[in-house]
Structure 1
Amino acid sequence: MIEQQKLIDQKQVESRKVYHLTKRFLDIVLSTLGLIGLSPVMGIVAYKIKREDGGPVFYKQVRVGKNGKKFKMYKFRSMVVNADQLLDKLKEKNDVDGAMFKMKHDPRITKVGHFIREHSLDELPQLVNVLKGDMSLVGPRPPLPSEVEQYTSYDKQRLYVVPGCTGLWQATERNNVGFDEMVGLDLKYIKNCSVKYDLLIIWKTIAVIFTPNSSY
């Protein structure tokens, strides 16, 4: 169990105006370039998803962002169409402790879904969320409202910043650690965030596209 006594000074986080403005500028530029440059890949992924079962290509889900603000997050659909309805039957098989559901061999994931999750291609539509300002390229994973309901005051510090498409957890340990360790990594990022740190995490995330990770 990680130490949970130390709290982050939210005012100090907010006071870093130059960093936040630079971060937003990079978000707009890099997400625009990403949408343009990766459009052929996204087109192929969309075709494969549609061809497999004829269902919707994209999946929209309500997530919680900075300071508890809710927004719709976009992803490529990697599960069967009725995945949300099947969740209640699978909750007891959760492979992660804490306020998060992850199942290593989730039967709801499609064949195409396995591949795009392994290479983090399912996350590409979130570049639209970045352009809209709901998300950043780098930041803590945006949680579900049901997860936030289980948060302690310590866990809620993750919501001090704009959530990201990728972050320190995704670029390093991914599903090799539990919920508490994930929160610890997110708070480490928030305490030490900088433009250089963000670019390093983005670089590590790009490598995941070519080298499968432990995502599930």
Structure 2
Amino acid sequence: MNADRGLVVVLEDERAIAEMERLYLQQAGFGVHVATDGHAGLADIRRLSPVVVLVDIGLPGLDGLEVVRRLRADGDWVPVVFVTAHDGEVDRIVGLELGADDYVTKPFSPRELVARVKGLVRRSAAPAAATVRRAGRIELDEGTRRVRADGEPVELTTTEFDLLAHLLSRPGQVFTREQLLSAVWGMADYSGTRTVDVHIAQLRAKLGHPDPIRTVRGVGYAIEDTA
């Protein structure tokens, strides 16, 4: 099958889940490489340079959280989707703090998983533009996908970058969680708006003080055009 969408590395030790992910991703036009433990998976990611990585948190040898921690420590910001059997918010937040772009909880819809992978690939491979957006001490270059705060570089995941870019598209405007979920994640199922809150929290932590993002209680978020 023609894998014209690029290679996805799947780190999953449950054979049935790994094969389901392989099947659906291949049908969508992706090449797929499966690793069943963390050490092998980390080596494969470094060797193969995939477009997206699907990481099960509960991997043998080296768990999924540590795999991503080591990737980010190496400066590798390949888009990552955590796949977890745990439904607790703590697992989700910890995963996103490590630099994951998204997560799905088992059991999950394979079609939804493929849609999220497609969205990540589309955003990370978007054609370069010359637009530079600024608000106060924040500068975002859409062409190079680089961000600076107070002149210092800020490392963001693909999803964090796209969320910030959308907020910066209209400084001062309040976007609802549903609007952000639709624009950044391409999702029409608004039951996942907690995902927006988690990513906003991570953006705030990375952009530092003074906090450039304003929360409008019960509505959503805006970025302030002030120094």
**TM-score using structure 1 length:** 0.27
**1 or 2, which has the higher helix percentage?**
1
**TM-score using structure 2 length:** 0.26
